[in-house]
Amino acid sequence: MNFSQSINEIYESYIKARNSIGIVNLSHLCKFLVSGPSSLELINHFSPHKVNDKNGTGFFTVLLKRKKFIDEVLILRLSMYRYLVIGTKKEKIYKLLKKARRKYRSSMISDSTQEYAFFAFHGNQAKEFFRDLDHRYIYQAKRQNYPYFQLLAPKKDENLIMKHFLSLNFKPISLEVEKLFLYNNNVILNIDKIPRSYRLSVINELYPYTQPKYRIKPVKIRKFELEKNYLVTNKHKIYNHFGKKIGIIHCSYRLPYKRNPFIIAFVRSPLKAVSLIKVGKNEALIKPLFNY
């Protein structure tokens, strides 16, 4: 993977993959096998959005320990009582699952990170390519509101699989390029960085609680285009035209053909005709993009 790509290189790679099919190697993600008759109950114990056999064979959710966010994870159903939990916070996930086994004793937890290779596919032609492909370890799961395809394979076949798809003219993409696919499909990353006063509300918006245990204030996720070229961070707030704070910025990102950055934000109050952010003593208007 190339981790030192410029913005232009990232965007060029993104365009090539978007017009075709991009493949990203995510084998570095941690993977835990949860097996046994109570395996799904164990997973649902920490997932506010409960899952069942009707959810399909692959689904994204978040793991919470009471109000504490652990990780956003992908759950793959390998068979009736075998589920693979894939995420980024290896130690936290393992500790959480192992502790829960005290209650769900008919389940087993094992670290399978080195047993499996894992790939994700993005691009306009991916749906057509995978639609009629019969393979038991190809999954389509929806991350928040964005569905895309994943492939699970034995770790020993990792290089062979990459060569196979490159021979089919798939475009290799880096983690930074994949982020652009996720951002442009309104996926919220770095949920653990969201302030606690907003975090549960955002999680409920992304993965609605099946049975809410806490009082949750409503929040809307919005994308904006900044009308001045300011550097903004998640420390900046959003204000309405009366100067009242109505939300916070989660992140910003740039596209080469756009002069000004885009902002993903969380808003609690209804948006009026004009909203703005304050950068030091300066004020900048933000234009909402209503595609959430």
Paired tokens of 52: 């069942």
- In whole angstroms, give the CA distance from residue 72 to residue 190: 9
Nearest partner of 83 among 120, 105, 102, 109, judged by Cα: 109
Residue 147: predicted pLDDT? 94
**β-pair type (146-154, 171-172):** unpaired
CA 261 to chain centre: 21
- In whole angstroms, give the CA distance from residue 253 to residue 268: 22
- In whole angstroms, give the CA distance from residue 89 to residue 241: 40
Residue 40: predicted pLDDT? 92
Give, rounded to a whole angstrom, the gap between the first and last alpha carbons of the chain: 31
CA angle 139, 166, 15 (to 5 degrees): 80
Rounded (10°) angle between helices 90-100 and 39-46: 120
Residue 20: predicted pLDDT? 96
Residue 135: predicted pLDDT? 75
All domains of the chain, ordered by start, with CATH? 7-184 (3.30.1360.120), 219-289 (2.40.30.110)
Q: What's the average pLDDT block by block, 10 residues per block, for the chain (292 residues)?
A: 67 93 97 95 91 76 93 94 95 94 91 97 94 83 94 96 96 94 90 92 91 83 78 76 82 76 81 58 56 43
Q: Which H helix or E strand runs over 158?
A: helix 158-167
Residue 276: predicted pLDDT? 60
Residue 282: predicted pLDDT? 58
Q: What is the pTM of this model?
A: 0.87
14 in Cβ contact with 177 (< 8 Å): yes
285 in Cβ contact with 275 (< 8 Å): yes
